[in-house]
Structure formats: structure tokens, C-alpha cells
Structure 1
Amino acid sequence: MEKITGLLKIRVKRGIDLVVRDILTSDPYVVISVANQRWKSRVVKNSCNPEWKDEVTIPMGDRDPNIPIGLAVYDKDTFTADDKMGDAKIDVKPYMEVIEKRLENLRTPTTIDRIQPDGDNCLAEESSIVWKDGKIYQDMVLGLRNVKRGKVEVQLEWIQPPNSSRRP
């Protein structure tokens, strides 16, 4: 069993300009995949700009930060298989590198790093890693792949276990 060094909270905030998969709209939900685990958000009916405000907390240990976390958006269907509305990867490496620095007592808020969109990530715009009120957050807007359009806004937050003084 791997040692848990902390918890990574992923907040799935909202979808932006998602594609229509039904006649006039879609019933989207998000699936987060980490190794052999999957987490599913709630379904938002009749919206191409859904607000999920759902979250999942993932135990982090010896997991390789070079392996991105999978994110996929689907349209919920009643009588047929759910339609895929695009996918993205959440690149956690820059965030985990900041966590490893063990920053403390910074002014709040302080921007620690800025990550630019490039061919190695799915960022649709610049993403900032910020120290705020004793925690480190990264807000990101991910452009969906394998689809004409659509974005998903997520936030990462690191949670240190109470009995752990060690970060990754």
C-alpha cells in the first residue's frame, strides 16, 4: 500500500460553450479518471454552460505527477449510450512542483507561478497557482479535445493530512 502524502481536491466548477448532443441542448456530466478509479459529477439538465460545483478528493502518494488526470464530458441519454462531448487532461506536474517547495507565510493572495497553454497541456488560457489564506490553489480552464468546442473550468487544492508533516 502506498503512503498517502496528501489529498488533491479537484473542483469541477463549470462547462463553457459545450457542444449540443441532443436536439437543442445537452445534459452534461464530467468523469474524472485517475489510474483505475473513476468519479462522476452530477448531470446538469438542458445546458451547454452547466454549473456543476462538484468536487472529488484524490489520495496522493507515490503517484507519478507526470501522468495527467483524465477528464471527459458526456451527454446523459436515457435510451441510448451517453454521447462523448470531449476530453482533456489535467496536468498536475506544475502544481505538485509548487507543493514540494513547502511554501508558508506568504502574503495572501500571492501568485506563485503562471502556466501558459502549450502542446503538452489542455489549458485554454493562462493558469495561475496562488497562495491564499494558507492554501495553494490552481484555477484552470481546460479546452476540450476531440470536439469542435467546449471548455471546463476546474480548481486544484492541496490538503495536508493532519498527522503528516511531509509533503510530496
Structure 2
Amino acid sequence: MDRRLGLLRVHVKRGINLAIRDMISSDPYAVVELGNQKVKTHVVRKDINPKWNEYLTLSISDFNVPIKLTVYDHDTFSKDDKMGDAVFDIKEFVESMRMDLIGLPGGTVVTRVQPSRQNCLAKESCISWTSEGKVYQDMVLRLRNVECGEVELSLNWIDLPGARGIW
């Protein structure tokens, strides 16, 4: 039996007010990690408010393992500079997918996750139901270990044939 439960698609939308690591700007990219999986966005040149708009996919085998996002400044002739990190978990997201939501209108907010000391949310995160019958979560993560910066994401679930699934 497949140990994977499914795939998590992370839509890395944009960075907001990221730290300056070069003279007047930065060349940021984001890395999303889960266990030994590591996926990253493209580099956006000279922009502290980059619009990545990229979909990164992780294979999920345990809902309790936190996911880490790190932003780096790309450097050509030296090691890339770290521009902050954040962690997030998908427990509330998974719990929302397990609810009986059939019949709800698209756009219905199923759950709201509040910022706290236990998460890196910059503001309330909404888990919503689409008209296509899917659950998604929008979030803005405040980067840690840096003077400023946030990253906007959206999470979606992809069921895999033969996988155990969320039930």
C-alpha cells in the first residue's frame, strides 16, 4: 500500500516587503521543504515585492509534519543570502477536507485560522470551499529571523489513485 496520503499543491503567489540583501534590492526566490522534499520558485530579479505565481507540489505522508518556507536572495558569485523563513502546518486544512461540505455554495469560508505564537500567520487565514467541490486555504506568512517580509500562499489538495487519502 502507498504510504502517501496525497499531494499538496502550494501556490506561492508573491512576496511582500522582503528584506534588502543587495545594495538597493534583492533577487528573491522561495524554497518549500517537507522532510527530504525541496521545491523552489524561480528567481525574481531586483524586486522586494516579487510575484512568483508558481505552483509547487509536495507528496504528503504525514499531516502532522510542519512545512517550511525559506526565502533567499540569489547571488551569482557568493552563497545565496537567507531572507527569512516560516513554518506552517496543514492540520486545520485536512480537518476541513474531512467535513461534509456538499451543498455549500462556492466561496463559503469553512474555517478561520487565527495568527498565534504557534504559527507564522501574518493575519487570519481562511479555509474555503469552491464551487468545484474543493477545499483551499489562503494564507500570508510572516517571515522569521529577518527584519521584514511576508509571503502569500494558497494550498490545494490533490488525491492520488491508490493513495490512502485523508480519511
- TM-score for the superposition, normalised by structure 1: 0.92
Q: What does 1:1-20 align with in structure 2 at a 5 Å threshold? A: 2-20=2-20
SS of structure 2 residue aligned to 1:96: helix
Cα-to-partner distance string for 1:110-151 (whole Å, 9 max, x where unaligned): 100000000010000000000012111100000000001100
Q: Which residue of 2 aligns with 1:143?
A: 142
Aligned-residue offset at 1:166: 4.7
Relative to structure 1, is the Cα distance of residues 98 and 77 closer, same or farther in structure 2, using a 3 angstrom cutoff?
same
Q: Which residue of 2 aligns with 1:103?
A: 101
- The AA in structure 1 aligned to 2:90 is V
Q: Which residue of 2 aligns with 1:55?
A: 55
Q: Is 1:88 aligned with 2:86?
A: yes
- The AA in structure 2 aligned to 1:73 is V
- Partners of 1:115 and 1:71 lie apart in 2 by 18
- Partners of 1:129 and 1:60 lie apart in 2 by 19
- The AA in structure 2 aligned to 1:48 is I
In structure 1, stretches of 5+ residues that fail to align are none
Relative to structure 1, is the Cα distance of residues 3 and 103 closer, same or farther in structure 2, using a 3 angstrom cutoff?
farther
SS of structure 1 residue aligned to 2:47: coil
Equivalenced residues, count: 166
Q: Where do 4+ consecutive residues of structure 1 move more than 3 Å? A: 162-166
In structure 2, stretches of 5+ residues that fail to align are none
| CA RMSD, 1 decimal | 1.7
- Partners of 2:154 and 2:163 lie apart in 1 by 23
- Partners of 1:164 and 1:21 lie apart in 2 by 42
- TM-score for the superposition, normalised by structure 2: 0.92
- The AA in structure 1 aligned to 2:32 is I
- The AA in structure 2 aligned to 1:66 is N
SS of structure 2 residue aligned to 1:146: coil
Relative to structure 1, is the Cα distance of residues 164 and 35 closer, same or farther in structure 2, using a 3 angstrom cutoff?
closer
SS of structure 1 residue aligned to 2:55: strand
